[in-house]
Amino acid sequence: MITKRIIPCLDVRNGRVVKGVNFEGVSDVSSPVKLAKFYSDNGADELVFYDITASAEGRGIFTDILCEAAKTVFIPLTVGGGINTVADFERVLNCGADKVSVNSGAIRNPNLIEEAAKIYGDQCVVLSVDAKRVNGKFHVFAKGGREDTGMDAIEWIKRGQASGAGEIVLNSIDTDGVKNGFDIEMLSAVCDIAEVPVIASGGAGCIEHFIELFKNLPKVDAGLAASIFHFGEVDIKNLKNELSANGINMRIC
Amino acid sequence: MTAIVDYGVGNLFSLKSSFAYIGENAVVTNQPEVILSADRIILPGVGAFGDASEKLYSSGMADILKKAAAQGKPILGICLGMQLLFEKSYEYGEHLGLGFIKGSVKPISERVDASVYKIPQIGWNALKFKGEKSPLFKYINEGDHVYFVHSYYGADCDESLIATTEYGFEVTAAVSSGNVYGTQFHPEKSGDVGLNILKAFVSFS
């Protein structure tokens, strides 16, 4: 059977990982290349590089870093952040990315999903959605969660997968950063309509939260987190061993 | 030297990097003389079968590969590259493959309930060896996980089947016939297990 996936996300600004603590054996945890290798060696099933640079110069540094990482890390790499055009897809795919995640760029131009899926295939296009409860509904938020688009998240995801998105990342703004567990209710609503893999994001604080996620929602394919891995609060190897001991199918290496 | 065939399909950065990482000189090329003088050949591929098959035949690359195969040169097809080794594919119509491996390429959706088994199959799945252990697997073990991304699979390949993976049915994971090998999964994205498969392949000549 196919395994559930554990995906660390690296936020990169001006070529450096934004937050993190020192790991034994990693000389520079703010180096995306070194941290990516560390995670890969410790059992990460996939990595997300999230570009939070605003400047064009920063974009160039980001793709250089991505190329360096792709020379030593041989697991799937997803890139997100600043993806607005097919040319942005091309830019990161040429540096070793396997998948590209779109968020605000697709909100501004919903045709981006279909255009990219036609050229690179559905499997290459990941729709990343930041959602938050507003008046009893899940609304899509843009610009890193700062702006309420008023769009219904469930409808947006349906439309995205019909346009060719091959995976969905659902980040709950309500649980993000709270470390009180994933947003099971919101994820459940998305799983009900999802025909493609769903990646849960936002709220993981400890190993138990991942167990709860996969036990409650068998249709969720992967769990994504950033700070708990960077700050060493959860070790990926331990996490996967614990999940496996709880009957969840994992790749143990 | 290993030639990675560039026929305008997919991105070859990671594949080239993976060979550099294991210390093998790999050249991305569309030059017949380079391909025919290589010790072994990688046929990559991402995207649609029909488009890729058309490119191979119209560019003359199909004939070069058939010549290389007849010379006994080791050839490894990866993902769509594996599917192209088959006789034909039923992905959006009917398309001609290279015919090195008996059988045809069919949609996974014909075999499984898509509400349970999402299509494409995306993710890490375990290998089950078939028949005598292939030399391609000499550095890995049964049960090791590799990374798959596909909506179609190689069907009816009989004794060419060397590994399967469980996804609602026994899906073709790898094939071989003589000097020709194919993996449905991506060894260049399958961590150490994948690199060990590539190491085994570069030991062939």
Containing domain of residue A167, as a range? 5-245
Please give the ipTM for the structure prediction: 0.94
Domain total in chain A: 1
Alpha-carbon distance B88 to nearest alpha carbon in chain A (angstroms): 21
Query: What per-residue confidence (pLDDT) applies to A22?
Result: 64
Alpha-carbon distance B108 to nearest alpha carbon in chain A (angstroms): 14
Q: Burial level of A204, CB count in 10 A (0-12/13-18/19+)?
A: buried
- Strands ordered across the beta sheet of B161-166: B26-29, B2-5, B40-43, B75-78, B180-183, B170-177, B161-166, B128-129
A55-59, A109-113, A185-189, A220-224: which has the minimum mean pLDDT?
A55-59
Main-chain phi, psi angles of A217, to 5 degrees = -125, 85
Cα–Cα distances in Å, from A186 out to A76, A155, A172?
26, 13, 7
pLDDT, tens digit, for every residue of A21-73? Answer: 666 666 677 889 999 999 999 999 999 999 988 677 778 899 999 999 999 99
Could you give the CA distance from residue B73 to residue A46 in angstroms, rounded to a whole number?
A: 34
Beta-bridge mates of residue A99: A78
Is residue A203 pLDDT above 90, yes or no? yes
Which residues of B are known catalytic residues? 79, 186, 188
Instruction: Write down the CATH superfamily of domain B2-202.
Output: Class I glutamine amidotransferase (GATase) domain (3.40.50.880)
Q: Which residue has 């540096």 as its token pair? A: A95
Domain ranges in chain B are 2-202
For the beta carbon of residue A213, count every other beta carbon within 10 angstroms. 23
Cα dihedral B44/B50/B51/B52 (nearest 10): 20
Q: Which two structure tokens, joined as six digits, stand for B101?
A: 């491996």
Instruction: Inspect the interface and report whether the beta carbons of A70 and B14 lie closer than 8 Å.
Output: yes
Could you give the CA distance from residue A202 to residue A170 in angstroms, rounded to a whole number?
A: 8
Could you give the CA distance from residue B95 to residue A205 in angstroms, rounded to a whole number?
A: 50
Q: What mean pLDDT value characterizes chain A?
A: 93
Query: What per-residue confidence (pLDDT) applies to B49?
Result: 92
The model carries a pTM of 0.95
Instruction: Assess if residue A250 is contained within a domain.
Output: no
| Residue among A51, A130, A176, A183 flagged as catalytic | A130
Instruction: Assess if residue A61 is contained within a domain.
Output: yes
Is residue A213 pLDDT above 90, yes or no? yes
pLDDT, tens digit, for every residue of B2-43? Answer: 999 998 777 799 999 999 999 999 999 999 999 999 999 999
Nearest CB to A70 within list B13, B145, B147 = B13
For the beta carbon of residue A70, count every other beta carbon within 10 angstroms. 23
In the chain, the amino acid numbered A45 is: D
Active site residue A11: yes
Query: What per-residue confidence (pLDDT) applies to A112?
Result: 97
- Chain B residue whose CA is closest to A251: B145
- Could you say which residues of chain B have pLDDT below 70? none
Instruction: Inspect the interface and report whether the beta carbons of B147 and A167 lie closer than 8 Å.
Output: no
Q: Which pLDDT band, with edges at 50, 70 and 90, does A19 fall under? A: low
Query: What per-residue confidence (pLDDT) applies to B153?
Result: 97
- Chain B residue whose CA is closest to A164: B120
Indicate the SS3 state at residue A144: coil
Residues of B with CB under 8 A from a CB of A: 11, 13-14, 17-18, 20-21, 46-48, 114, 118, 120-126, 145, 147-149, 166-167, 188-195
Q: Measuring CA to CA, which residue among A75, A62, A74 is closest to residue A32?
A: A62
Query: What per-residue confidence (pLDDT) applies to B40?
Result: 98
- DSSP assignment of A25-64: T-S-TT-HHHHHHHHHHTT-S-EEEEE---SHHHHHHHHH
Could you give the CA distance from residue B1 to residue B183 in angstroms, rounded to a whole number?
A: 20
B contacts of A253 (beta carbons < 8 Å): 145, 191-193
A contacts of B18 (beta carbons < 8 Å): 74
Is residue A15 pLDDT above 90, yes or no? no
Q: Measuring CA to CA, which residue among A37, A42, A78, A32 is closest to residue A222?
A: A78
Instruction: Assess if residue A227 is contained within a domain.
Output: yes
pLDDT, tens digit, for every residue of A136-194? Answer: 999 999 988 889 999 999 999 999 999 999 999 999 999 998 999 999 999 999 999 99
Q: What mean pLDDT value characterizes chain B?
A: 96
Instruction: Assess if residue A253 is contained within a domain.
Output: no
Q: Which two structure tokens, joined as six digits, stand for A240?
A: 């996967």
Could you give the CA distance from residue B197 to residue B162 in angstroms, rounded to a whole number?
A: 13
Question: The domain spanning residue A44 has which CATH number?
Answer: 3.20.20.70
